[in-house]
Amino acid sequence: MAERKRSPADFALWKGAKPGEPSWDSPWGKGRPGWHIECSAMSRKLLGETFDFHGGGLDLIFPHHENEIAQSECGHGKPQAKYWLHNGLMQAASEAGKVGGRTTRAADGAPAAANTAKISKSTGASPFSELLERHSPEAIRMFLVSTHYRSPIQYSEELLEETARSLEGFYRFFKRYQRITGQSFFKIAQPAVRSAGDFDPGSDPTQKQIADLRNQFLEAMDDDFNTGKAVGKLFELLSLLNKFADDKKLEGTAKPSADALATLTQGATTVRELAVTLGLFRKPVEMKAGGDDSLVSGLMQLLIELRATARKNKDFASADLIRKRLAELGVALEDRPGGTEWTRT
């Protein structure tokens, strides 16, 4: 109780039991460990008196982690953890306060609305398993790493869907790389350590840009795991490689030169190295056998074949109608030398 404290700043190591609560005997009567001492005791037992990393949400810095440090370091006479990592909190896209907490506040310039930012079971939020039914694991991962871990994550279904659409650009490039080289992007052996990914760009201007973007990616990761900035460099690298393939007409009728193929392969290898660092593009996107994905894929292939037949028969009105109606449904067709590709827009 407050009147029993020697100092108002003291915190409880032992809580007196209330009726019906679990309790244990102690010299101070029945009770249980305080919230902070529980974590100090567990970390000491499982990790030792000093360990490398301690993580948690920004809302735990005070009082929880500061109290952990006070009691652990007083008890052991040494640092509790070498590094402390505090992640930002999930919040609704139009809010700037903690989602699900009592301190949620409207973002600057946004109208105030009671409970609009709260995301929790008590407000009807769906569990993570249901989120996985609506979005691919890769889209969720990209969504999370696109924000620095110490910054609040602005959540909305629209932002997640936008992230999923942005991934389509990478998937299209992977297919393009396979059409040009005959090799699967996912079969590229990514470097296991940083130094193994180093390469000499020589005098090739595109390879120099690839090397520069790789260095910028690594510098961002060295800067307190700035994954948001690193993801931006991945998108710049994707644009560079697509422009290179267009400028060199690598999908034309002529066979690409060995130098052009070497540059494209180096770029793809760098994309794979950096993406895998973030846990992205480790393997091809899985299609659910017999599910909606395979059905949509089959129907799209049928429409593409019908459109190709219409164009062959000079029935351009029907071919254009198929493209137009698909565009209205959010599907884009891309005609390439090796065939027609489709993507959700």
277, 300, 326 - which closes a domain = 277
Q: Which domain holds residue 316?
A: 292-344
In the chain, the number of structural domains is 4
Q: Enumerate residues 6+ apart whose C-beta is below 8 A from 148.
A: 88, 224, 225, 226, 227, 228, 229
Question: pLDDT, tens digit, for every residue of 159-202?
Answer: 999 999 999 999 999 999 999 999 999 999 988 899 999 999 99
Contact in structure between 13 and 37 (CB atoms under 8 Å): yes
Residue 239 has pLDDT above 80, yes or no: yes
Mean pLDDT of 314-322: 92
Residue 296 binned pLDDT confidence (cut-offs 50, 70, 90): confident
Q: Which of 244, 188, 236 is nearest to 215 (CA)?
A: 236
Tell me, yes or no, whether 164 lies in a domain. Answer: no
Tell me, yes or no, whether 167 lies in a domain. Answer: no
**Higher-confidence position of 202 and 294:** 202
H runs (alpha helix) in the chain: 35-47, 66-76, 128-134, 137-145, 157-181, 205-222, 227-247, 258-277, 292-312, 316-328
Residue 104 binned pLDDT confidence (cut-offs 50, 70, 90): very low
Do 192 and 269 lie in one domain? The reply is: yes
Q: By mean pLDDT, which of 73-82, 98-107, 202-211, 291-300 is the weakest?
A: 98-107
Share of the chain above pLDDT 90, in %: 62
Question: pLDDT, tens digit, for every residue of 135-149?
Answer: 899 999 999 999 999
Q: Enumerate residues 6+ apart whose C-beta is below 8 A from 190.
A: 197, 269, 272, 273, 276
Mean pLDDT of 270-283: 96
223, 253, 277 - which closes a domain = 277
**Higher-confidence position of 48 and 330:** 48
* Token pair 């350590």 in the structure block, residue: 193
The structure's pTM equals: 0.74
Tell me, yes or no, whether 260 lies in a domain. Answer: yes
Residue 110 has pLDDT above 60, yes or no: no
CA atoms within a 13 Å half-sphere pointing along the CA-CB vector of 41: 9
Do 189 and 256 lie in one domain? The reply is: yes
